[in-house]
Amino acid sequence: FMTELENYKQQQLSHSNAWSLWRDRFNAFITNITTPKFGYGLGMLVVGVLATTVFFKTKDTGTSEVQQLSSQVKEMREMLALSLLEHPSASERLRAVSYVEEIDTVDTRVKDALLTTLNNDENVNVRLTALETLAKMTADPKGREGLIQSIAHQDSPLVQLVLADLMLKMQEKKSVRSFQQLLKKPETNEAIKDKIKQTIHQLS
């Protein structure tokens, strides 16, 4: 019996050491995967492989270790999204925004990056996609406030319309002041001004 017990301990120790070594290698790799020398496709492949690893590890690994690995995969997804939001190609930035939607719980860094994209990206489609993604996170008070403040920054009629509809859907009365600021801007489209006036009236 003692021999069997000792063998079991050695097996557990071997498994623990192997897992620790794998985890350390993962930690080293995660810091490098988003550098320019790595392509987006490779990054997605790595995330997919690691996500699959998490699934199969649940069969022979402790819960805490699986949770830790899952957290690291989530972090990698976020790092890839943040990196791609800075990409000069609009199509890659669009891909980054859509990739954020695959993250179950988005942290503050990513939300702030999406708000920055919404306010500053030169491509209207990227801004619209960022807005659609942020619209799904309005349960967060900070996210709602960021959307309200974003209203006055927008120069695209399409983005302005979507924001007006979103504020009506949320019944966000705090947005009235931001819409009033938008009305004062001479460059705001006249047709959009009519929509904004209706929005202000319905929220007041």
How does pLDDT run along the chain (204 residues), one tens digit per residue? 445 545 544 444 444 444 455 455 555 544 454 444 444 554 554 555 555 555 555 555 556 666 666 677 677 778 888 888 998 999 999 988 888 887 878 889 999 999 999 999 999 999 999 999 999 999 999 999 999 999 999 999 999 999 999 999 999 999 999 999 999 999 999 989 999 999 999 998
Taking the C-alpha atoms of residue 4 and residue 88, their distance in angstroms, rounded to an integer, is 61
Q: Give the pLDDT score at 117.
A: 96
Q: Give the pLDDT score at 48.
A: 54
Domain boundaries in the chain?
Answer: 1-84, 106-204
Q: Give the pLDDT score at 129.
A: 95
Q: Give the pLDDT score at 75.
A: 78
Cα 179 → chain centroid = 27
Q: Give the pLDDT score at 113.
A: 95
- Helices 63-84 and 2-30 cross at an angle (nearest 10°) of 10
pTM for this predicted structure: 0.68
Nearest to 74 by CA among 38, 47, 112: 47
Taking the C-alpha atoms of residue 37 and residue 76, their distance in angstroms, rounded to an integer, is 16
Q: What length does the chain have?
A: 204
Q: Give the pLDDT score at 105.
A: 82
